[in-house]
Structure 1
Amino acid sequence: MGFTHYCSKGKKGQFRVKRKSSRKKVTAKLKNYKDWLKAHRTMDIREIMARLNRSLKGYFNYYCITDNIQEVANFLDNIKRLLFKWMNRRSQRKSFSWDKFNLFLSKYPLPRPRIKVNIYDLKKDINFIL
């Protein structure tokens, strides 16, 4: 499924089952992004960013649920590091410093993760229907 379930406490101290992205799935997805960026680093930068944005939106739509937003934000940070690494390897000279890279990201922004599904609101909807 792609999630790890673990026991925790809610804001009011009551027992709650929380979910986070499976480490195995995240690692595999990061490897796929790395391989893709490595293979396509010579493409036009606008095409790379458009493809990356589409892919990240799909990832966020699936994984941005209650209690998982921090894991998804960490995933996005790893993607930014990979992008920085492979965009700097487009030629023999470094293309970016981190300051320049942040300016680049302001021109071609990556999507931000937001909670798409609050699973506890779904529980209320199901009880209402029953």
Structure 2
Amino acid sequence: MWWIYALLSAFFASLTAILAKIGIKGVDSDLATAIRTVVILLLAWTIVFYKHAGAGLSGLSRMNWTFLILSGIATGLSWIFYFKALQMGKVSQVAPVDKASVAITILLSVLFLGETLTIKTAIGAVLIIGGTLVLVL
């Protein structure tokens, strides 16, 4: 079942690039990121309230808070740089380079989470990096 959500994520990430490229014409990329962030904030809290999941706030540990905040900072920086890249480059080049994050994530998951690096996963990461280099060069 997880793969259905992953495919939906990929589809909406793809739409994000196309819609953002159209939306940032003549707009400062940081302003565009801020507007997008407000929309995401409203959407996320609407879902939390709809599902009555807000009660879970009291159960969050200091570690939960720390790493969720750090994740939010990383996401924000990613979006800022992504929108700047979209404003300056072609979507067909920016989006695939952004997806090099998949290969970086594989490496970081091995280093920091202790996940096993299989030969299949390693080959996939190398192919992603190779494809990224082809698009950049």
Name the TM-score class by shorter chain: 0.3 to 0.5
The structure carrying a bigger strand percent of its residues is 1
Q: Which is helix-richer, 1 or 2? A: 2
Structure with greater Cα Rg = 1
**TM-score by structure 2 length?**
0.34
